[in-house]
Amino acid sequence: MATVFIPASTSAVLLDIEGTTTPITFVKDVLFPYIREHLEDYLSNHWEEDECKQDVQLLKKQLFDGHFDTTLGAKVEGKSYERIAERIGCRPEEITFLTDVTREAKAAEEAGVNVVVVVRPGNMELTDDERAHYKLITSFNQLKPTGPV
């Protein structure tokens, strides 16, 4: 797949998680079991340590500038993306959304959001029409900004 250019007007990148940032098989078969097995013990043993508290805060600050669940609406409804844009203080056309689900891509597009569909092992197969319509990537390395970074 070719390079996909992120529009210069993009001020926010919105990421779906499962199937987008990593293959869904990795999330289900590796990540979830690992977290279930180790997180509680780790946090129980280290929660009162300043380093752990600082790490948790830094992770929240650096990684999550906004967390949006279905309280803003279903990901297959265009209105949800309009609400997200409003919540983060930008216009829908200033958002580039990466997802592996074309129903979500369609809803985001209807709201005016720029869309890139991520193709990963274990994701639903795309139709020929979907492949022709959407910008597709298999790796984030294929994304390139068109303006100043």
Question: Residue 112 region, left (φ>0) first, then alpha (ψ -120 to 50), else beta?
Answer: left
Q: What is the CATH number of the domain that holds 125?
A: 3.40.50.1000
Is there a single domain that holds both residue 52 and residue 15?
A: no
Give yes or no: residues 80 and 117 share one domain. Answer: yes
- DSSP assignment of 39-69: HHHHHHHHTTSHHHHHHHHHHHHHH-S----
Tell me the per-residue pLDDT of 15-66, one tens digit each, with 9 for 90 and over.
Answer: 888 888 888 888 889 988 998 999 889 889 999 999 988 878 877 765 555 5
Amino acid at 69: D
Among 74, 67, 137, 143, residue whose Cα is nearest residue 111: 74
Domain co-membership, 139 together with 88: yes
pTM of the model: 0.71
Q: pLDDT per residue over 126-142, tens digit each?
A: 999 999 999 999 999 99
Total tally of structural domains belonging to the chain:
2
CA distance 2 to 13: 19
| Residues 19, 61 within the same domain | no
> Are 94 and 14 a contacting pair, CB within 8 Å?
no
CA distances from residue 84 to 62, 81, 133 in whole angstroms, order as listed = 19, 5, 24
Q: Are residues 89 and 52 in the same domain?
A: no
Q: Which domain holds residue 45?
A: 27-65
pLDDT value, residue 148? 55
Judge if 80 and 114 occupy the same domain. Answer: yes
Q: How far is CA 4 from the centre of its chain?
A: 16
91 in the same domain as 102? yes
